Chain A
Amino acid sequence: MTLSAIVRRFMFGASRALAPAALAFAPHFAGAAEPAPVPVGLVAALSGQSAASGEAITRGLSVAIAEINQAGGVLGRPLMLVRRDDESNPGKGIAAARELISREHVAAFFGGIDTPVSIALVPIANKEKTPFLGVWAAGTGITHNGANPNYVFRVSAVDTLVDQRLLRYAVTIAKAQHPGLMLIDNPWGESNHAGLEAAAKSAGVSLAGAESFESGDTDMIAQLTRLKAAGADAIILVGNAAPAADVIHSLDRMGWNVPVISHWGISGGRFPELAGPSAEKVAFVQTYSFFKSSPKGEAVLAELEKTYPAIKGPQDIIAPVGTANAYDAMHLLALAIAKAGSTEGPAIQAALEALPSYDGLIKRYAPAFTAANHDALGADDYIMVHFAADKIVPVE
């Protein structure tokens, strides 16, 4: 049992014990009673190699919740974030989501960076009729899950569209003719394998080959050598920070100076520290850059700087994509709860599918979702970036 759970249990027991006394005094203090908060959940990697992603999502949600609560909350009640660590483990994610729904009675919950965890949470959201908003994991099957009604929404990239973007960058900017694929051996890697092959086919590009690696692998020379022998002139990389850093170490050891274009998993950990100086040559995809100037962007940045003193500018925002996606997703959820006039799952789900236009941080959502499309972001919303030291800056 976590410390917060122990505290909650104690508070619950204390509140039951004091209930009669509270009732006796209630008439005198009726005007001062605080409305009960609306709990919203987060199931994400708060520890392990992708801990930075969980922290970035938390920051985006927290800033949005503070804004919403300052403006009076939703349905006259403040929002409250309840976080659970899935440790990038689908089993732990399932347990956490069930606990959030059955014990914390969350109105909806957000997901983290790991597609395998999010895929595991989809059936729970649909069965329990609790809206689940993905803010990072890009696996196509998360929102395209075949359920009707579908309680899963996403304010993030979609693998099939990201794959088209990565391939386009490899061909047009990196001038590659035969990109090779290095993919993490899990459902996220598989999702991108299918997406990249489809993207290559429709673009008339022949791939040099596809190789996979495990999350704990530290030496990828064998896979990279095979790609090199097959004529690869660029590497498209799909993996999280730690194993992706080892791909870069292996390239360094081989002395193979090849363009590397990566999905955004590398921005969820300490990639520059783990990969060393060669981290800077990796171009990768994001949905938002805090270097992009807009009134809303500057306001959110100012709020982040105020709340988190370590942030002195856009370059200090760790894993910006998690923060930006989570910020917009939280506001969209608050709009839906207000529109639904209820915290019941089915009402919120219906409201999310019928939201009015909304000016978000990333873009103007017009609207964010429809009954047929549960992905708020499209291919035109992606930008390419790279690390400069440990900061994320645009390459285009």
Chain B
Amino acid sequence: MTPMLAASLVSGLAVGAMYGLLALGYHVTWVVSRSVNFAQGSVMMLGAVIAFSLAVSGGWPMPFAIAAALIGCAGFGVVLERVAVRPFRARGSESWLMATVAAGMLVENAAMFLFGKEPRGMPSALARHPVMLFGVGVLPLHIVILLAGLGLAGLFLLATRATPYGKALLAVVQNPRAAQLMGIDAAKVTVFAYALSSALAGLAGVLIAPLTNVAADMGFVFGIKGFAAAILGGLDNPWGAVLAGLLLGLAEASVTAFAGSGATVMASFGLVILALYLRPHGLFGRAEARKV
């Protein structure tokens, strides 16, 4: 493998892991409530903006700034579920779809107003000195991002299979009424799912910011690509969502390396459409059997 391709693939894996984290966020709310948070991209931006504001402008130590950003994003998820999702789902309406899109735009514009429209550089000790591995410069942050993406997918899978709370999460979507009769508070579980999903998006924002920059409009394209990864991997499959994110990142990096970045979006979304044409339920998803 040429150093150029190897270096591009390292970047592709890092960006792909971020798509994966966002996709995992889409998956979490989908499996619990059959709804998704289309403000994921904006929440990702929110995480980066809060961490930047506290660490750089406010002088907080970075770990505290990151923790506050994740708590802030989770809190936003709770509010979003209460305001933009629950009222519509309670009436059997699908308008949560538009409501979450609108909430995302609201957050983005508020960030432009409060944070400014100028991109800022997020400092990170992990993105300063590359380590040369087989002639390829790899930043410690690349490795952290990849481990975070895969580790969180693994943790989520483990939690939903092996812990009572995780099982409760999945029980709600299988049969909310039965779950409630078993003492599971479906509303609380859904709120938790939205908080978790938003925290994952916030984490993606915090992790990717030092590799790109922090800007009020940084989340939009990431949000779309994260959703593409979630659909590609199968919304019901956490591993699928993360792996599809990685695949999408790698595909983009390869296209950029060989055909230039002008072709990246065309080629990567073309591949997504082709993959869904061949496997309508996603690369790792399964057709859902419905009893009638």
Q: Give A residues with C-beta under 8 Å from B.
A: 47-49, 51-52, 87, 185, 212-214, 216-219, 221-223, 225-226, 229, 242, 245-246, 249, 252-255, 269-270, 273-276
Cross-interface CB contact of A221 among B11, B116, B117, B211, cutoff 8 Å: B11
CB contacts (< 8 Å) of B260 on chain A: these are: 212, 223
Render B197-219 as a binary contact track against A, CB cut-off 8 A, 1 for contact. 00000000000000111010000
- B3 contacts the other chain (CB 8 A): yes
**Contact indicator B118/A48 (Cβ below 8 Å):** yes
**Contact indicator B4/A222 (Cβ below 8 Å):** yes
Distance of B109 from chain A, by nearest CB (Å)? 12
Determine the distance from Cα of A226 to Cα of B260 in the docked complex, in whole angstroms: 11
**Contact indicator B120/A273 (Cβ below 8 Å):** yes
Nearest 10 A/B pairs, CB to CB: A47-B117, A253-B137, A225-B4, A222-B257, A274-B121, A219-B11, A273-B121, A221-B7, A51-B118, A214-B261
Distance of B208 from chain A, by nearest CB (Å)? 9
- B154 contacts the other chain (CB 8 A): no
**Contact indicator B119/A254 (Cβ below 8 Å):** no
**Contact indicator B257/A253 (Cβ below 8 Å):** no
- B63 contacts the other chain (CB 8 A): no
- B35 contacts the other chain (CB 8 A): no
- B266 contacts the other chain (CB 8 A): no
CB contacts (< 8 Å) of A276 on chain B: these are: 121, 128
Determine the distance from Cα of A255 to Cα of B257 in the docked complex, in whole angstroms: 18
Determine the distance from Cα of A223 to Cα of B8 in the docked complex, in whole angstroms: 10
**Contact indicator B130/A252 (Cβ below 8 Å):** yes
CB contacts (< 8 Å) of A225 on chain B: these are: 2-4, 7
Q: Can you name 19 A-B pairs with beta carbons within 8 Å?
A: A47-B116, A48-B117, A49-B215, A185-B262, A212-B260, A212-B262, A213-B261, A218-B11, A222-B7, A225-B7, A226-B4, A242-B213, A252-B130, A253-B7, A254-B137, A255-B132, A269-B119, A270-B120, A276-B121
Determine the distance from Cα of A123 to Cα of B263 in the docked complex, in whole angstroms: 30
Distance of A1 from chain B, by nearest CB (Å)? 15
**Contact indicator A51/B117 (Cβ below 8 Å):** yes
- B139 contacts the other chain (CB 8 A): yes
The answer to whether A255 and B137 touch (CB under 8 A), given A213-B261, A218-B212, is yes
CB contacts (< 8 Å) of B256 on chain A: these are: 217, 219, 222
The answer to whether A221 and B8 touch (CB under 8 A), given A242-B119, A269-B118, is yes
CB contacts (< 8 Å) of B7 on chain A: these are: 221-222, 225, 253-254
**Contact indicator A221/B118 (Cβ below 8 Å):** no
- B253 contacts the other chain (CB 8 A): yes
**Contact indicator B137/A219 (Cβ below 8 Å):** no
Cross-interface CB contact of A214 among B11, B118, B215, B262, cutoff 8 Å: B262
Closest to A48 in B: B117
Most buried by A among B7, B139, B258: B7
241-261 of chain B: CB within 8 A of chain A = 253, 256-258, 260-261
146-203 of chain B: CB within 8 A of chain A = none
Distance of B4 from chain A, by nearest CB (Å)? 4
Distance of A152 from chain B, by nearest CB (Å)? 28
CB contacts (< 8 Å) of A213 on chain B: these are: 261
Cross-interface CB contact of A270 among B2, B119, B139, cutoff 8 Å: B119
Determine the distance from Cα of A274 to Cα of B210 in the docked complex, in whole angstroms: 9
Determine the distance from Cα of A273 to Cα of B2 in the docked complex, in whole angstroms: 32
CB contacts (< 8 Å) of B213 on chain A: these are: 242, 245, 274
- B98 contacts the other chain (CB 8 A): no
Determine the distance from Cα of A213 to Cα of B261 in the docked complex, in whole angstroms: 6
**Contact indicator A218/B211 (Cβ below 8 Å):** yes
Closest to A221 in B: B7
CB contacts (< 8 Å) of B8 on chain A: these are: 219, 221-222
Closest to A218 in B: B212
- B221 contacts the other chain (CB 8 A): yes
Distance of B195 from chain A, by nearest CB (Å)? 29
CB contacts (< 8 Å) of A218 on chain B: these are: 11, 15, 211-212
Render B9-39 as a binary contact track against A, CB cut-off 8 A, 1 for contact. 0010001000000000000000000000000
CB contacts (< 8 Å) of A253 on chain B: these are: 7, 130, 137, 139
Determine the distance from Cα of A216 to Cα of B213 in the docked complex, in whole angstroms: 10
CB contacts (< 8 Å) of B4 on chain A: these are: 221-222, 225-226, 229
Distance of A336 from chain B, by nearest CB (Å)? 33
Determine the distance from Cα of A246 to Cα of B132 in the docked complex, in whole angstroms: 19
Most buried by A among B2, B118, B213, B257: B118
Distance of B56 from chain A, by nearest CB (Å)? 9
Distance of B62 from chain A, by nearest CB (Å)? 16
Known A47-B112, A49-B119, A185-B262; further 9 A-B contacts with Cβ < 8 A: A49-B118, A52-B118, A214-B262, A219-B11, A221-B4, A225-B2, A225-B3, A253-B137, A269-B119
Distance of A24 from chain B, by nearest CB (Å)? 44
Distance of B116 from chain A, by nearest CB (Å)? 7
Render B107-151 as a binary contact track against A, CB cut-off 8 A, 1 for contact. 000001000111111000000101010000101000000000000
Distance of B271 from chain A, by nearest CB (Å)? 18
Determine the distance from Cα of A270 to Cα of B213 in the docked complex, in whole angstroms: 11
**Contact indicator A245/B121 (Cβ below 8 Å):** yes
CB contacts (< 8 Å) of A49 on chain B: these are: 118-119, 215
Determine the distance from Cα of A245 to Cα of B121 in the docked complex, in whole angstroms: 10
Distance of A242 from chain B, by nearest CB (Å)? 5
CB contacts (< 8 Å) of B15 on chain A: these are: 218
Distance of A253 from chain B, by nearest CB (Å)? 4
CB contacts (< 8 Å) of A222 on chain B: these are: 4, 7-8, 256-258
CB contacts (< 8 Å) of B137 on chain A: these are: 221, 252-255
CB contacts (< 8 Å) of B261 on chain A: these are: 185, 213-214, 217
